[in-house]
């Protein structure tokens, strides 16, 4: 396989530098000058390789979300049942979100959604799709569970994930992720028990 194009390589380097800046300084604090310094490229090079600031932010969001989209695609390909739900919970409260450290970047982006309608709409779509993927996993894996019940539990799991990632910024106790996972397990178990009573 050939070497990736210089354009793609430079774009990726700039996007990673912008992501680090946004995670550290917030979106509004991440000026092109700061991103240029972090990336080692001039402002002109940044514009050449990625375009304007909105295009750069789009690339940052897309790059940050790609691993999560890929993981949800992997989960969707697993056979339904308890193993698939366990894999989902491992992803939401284990190595997926916890290990990535991306929550600093996502938190910085969330802080801007009230001021930036375009970003607000992007993030709303992203989290809507995440909730839908969680819901689909539950309905396909728990016999007898209704769509409305799965929607409620999916929303609760997403809220738990977002809540623990926000709390992680405060350096909460080491077992906070484990405690959150236990709450998630309890919600899923209630869904299982409720669906068997029907």
Q: Where are the domains of the chain?
A: 1-51, 60-196
Cα separation of 145 and 42, whole Å? 55
Q: 3-class secondary structure for 67-136?
A: HHHHHHHHHHHCCCCHHHHHHHHHHHHCCCHHHHCCHHHHHHHHHHCCCCHHHHHHHHHHHHHHHHHHHH
> Which residue carries 């769509």 as its tokens?
147
pLDDT 10s digits, 119-174: 999 888 888 999 999 999 999 999 999 999 999 999 999 999 888 887 777 766 66
Whether the CB-CB separation of 110 and 123 falls below 8 Å is answered with yes
User: Which pLDDT does position 2 carry in this prediction?
Assistant: 47
- Give the residue with greater pLDDT, 79 vs 184: 184
- DSSP H/E element including 22: helix 6-29
Q: Which CATH number fits domain 1-51: 1.20.120.80, 3.30.750.210, 1.10.10.60, 3.40.50.2000?
A: 1.10.10.60
User: Which pLDDT does position 173 carry in this prediction?
Assistant: 65
pLDDT 10s digits, 51-106: 998 999 999 999 988 888 888 888 888 888 889 999 999 988 876 666 566 778 88
User: Which pLDDT does position 172 carry in this prediction?
Assistant: 66
pLDDT band at 1 (very low <50, low <70, confident <90, very high): very low
Cα separation of 36 and 32, whole Å? 6
User: Which pLDDT does position 70 carry in this prediction?
Assistant: 85
């Amino acid at each position: 396989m050939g070497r990736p194009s210089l354009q793609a390589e430079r774009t990726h380097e700039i996007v990673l530098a912008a992501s680090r800046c946004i995670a550290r300084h917030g979106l509004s604090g991440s000026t092109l000058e700061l991103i240029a310094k972090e990336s080692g490229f001039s402002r002109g090079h940044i514009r050449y390789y990625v375009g304007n600031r909105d295009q750069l932010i789009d690339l940052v969001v897309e790059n940050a979300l790609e691993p999560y989209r890929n993981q949800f695609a992997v989960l969707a390909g697993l056979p339904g049942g308890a193993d698939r739900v366990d894999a989902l919970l491992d992803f939401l409260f284990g190595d997926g979100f916890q290990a990535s450290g991306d929550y600093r970047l996502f938190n910085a982006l969330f802080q801007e959604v009230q001021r930036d309608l375009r970003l607000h709409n992007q993030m709303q779509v992203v989290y809507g799709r995440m909730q839908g993927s969680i819901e689909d996993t539950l309905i396909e894996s728990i016999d007898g569970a209704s769509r409305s019940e799965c929607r409620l539990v999916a929303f609760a799991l997403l809220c738990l994930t977002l809540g623990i990632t926000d709390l992680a910024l405060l350096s909460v106790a080491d077992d906070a992720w484990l405690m959150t996972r236990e709450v998630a397990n309890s919600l899923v178990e209630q869904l299982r028990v409720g669906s068997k009573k029907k």
